[in-house]
């Protein structure tokens, strides 16, 4: 090291001149100060979506995209449908319930009106059961024909039923699989057929669950857990087949979500109100709104190189 020291000192003068680009950059910063962003705190302003800003990442924009959401009449499907609308998409919801757009007190009705009045887009409802494959394909074809395109799908239709494995009947197990697995499969197939027909790339998000990867402690739902594991594997298989058409397929696996259905479950099993939040790393349950960003990410060009993947959002529940 002693022989190298003089050489290194000669290569590094004591008073090196500053980099030539440093001064222009600093000068530019002084000449063009960044304005402070205004913060709106009025209640009226808080209820409105922020106006689009040019510096937002364009990859997350869904402007002019046409997207279908199955199971979109309420719950997580409806929350994600609103997020897609806010990102600029035209959204079609499919659900088995009678049209909630006719009920002025429903969340769907309020979002339906907001889409036209505030967001300059549209939300359309189609009543159908995902087990009715013929009708499902007709709906997808009509949507694609009217718009001349079909860009994406969120397959969120599904059910849950908690029964100990020793008490499950074949009919109960078949119903779970027919809606959660076959229904999701046929919905994705119907959407992909239109994308292939129109020679258009697209993105499909299938709602799975952390229960497709783990067995929930203290919750006896073997058929539900198996159905969500099947959805995760189905996603990988569809992604492998449809990648050549430019169709991406991913799953979103939520943790426990604080919904009206879960609240009813807590009424029957009050001890779970304390136990379930403690089983994840954030010590709380998630809200439906915390999956809005994931929906936009998976349906937009922001995830353009992502397919065959499972996006798990469970507060660290599965990472212990």
**256 flagged as catalytic:** no
Distance between CA atoms of residues 320 and 306, nearest Å: 25
Name the one residue in this structure whose structure tokens are 């996006």. 311
Of 228, 245, 256, 291, which one is the catalytic site residue?
228
Of 65, 112, 125, 224, which one is the catalytic site residue?
224
**228 flagged as catalytic:** yes
Residues contacting residue 310 through CB under 8 Å, at least 6 positions apart: 208, 212, 213, 232, 235, 250, 251, 252, 253
Distance between CA atoms of residues 314 and 253, nearest Å: 8
Distance between CA atoms of residues 20 and 175, nearest Å: 71
Residue positions annotated with a catalytic role: 224, 228
């Amino acid at each position: 090291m002693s022989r190298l020291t003089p050489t290194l000192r000669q290569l590094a003068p004591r008073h090196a001149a500053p980099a030539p680009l440093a001064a222009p950059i600093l000068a530019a910063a002084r000449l063009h100060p960044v304005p402070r962003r205004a913060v709106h705190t009025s209640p009226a302003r808080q209820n409105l979506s922020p106006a689009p800003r040019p510096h937002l990442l364009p990859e997350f924009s869904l402007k002019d995209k046409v997207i279908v959401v199955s199971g979109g009449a309420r719950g997580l499907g409806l929350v994600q449908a609103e997020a897609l609308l806010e990102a600029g998409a035209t959204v079609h919801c499919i659900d088995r319930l009678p049209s909630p757009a006719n009920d002025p007190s429903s969340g769907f009705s309020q979002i339906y009106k907001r889409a036209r009045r505030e967001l300059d887009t549209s939300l359309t409802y189609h009543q159908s059961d995902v087990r009715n494959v013929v009708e499902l394909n007709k709906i997808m074809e009509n949507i694609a024909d009217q718009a001349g395109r079909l860009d994406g799908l969120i397959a969120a239709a599904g059910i849950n039923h908690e029964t100990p494995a020793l008490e499950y009947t074949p009919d109960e197990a078949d119903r779970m699989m027919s809606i959660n697995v076959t229904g999701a499969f046929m919905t994705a197939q119907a959407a992909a057929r239109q994308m292939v027909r129109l020679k258009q790339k697209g993105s499909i998000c299938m709602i799975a669950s952390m229960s497709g990867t783990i067995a929930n402690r203290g919750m006896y739902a073997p058929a539900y857990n198996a159905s969500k594991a099947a959805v995760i594997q189905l996603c990988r298989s569809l992604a492998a087949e449809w990648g050549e058409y430019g169709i991406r397929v991913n799953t979103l696996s939520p943790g426990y979500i604080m919904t009206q259905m879960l609240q009813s479950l807590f009424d029957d099993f009050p001890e779970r109100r304390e136990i379930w939040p403690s089983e994840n790393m954030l010590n709380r349950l998630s809200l439906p709104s915390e999956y809005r960003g994931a929906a936009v990410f998976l349906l937009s060009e922001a995830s353009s190189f992502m397919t065959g993947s499972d996006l798990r959002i469970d507060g660290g529940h599965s990472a212990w």
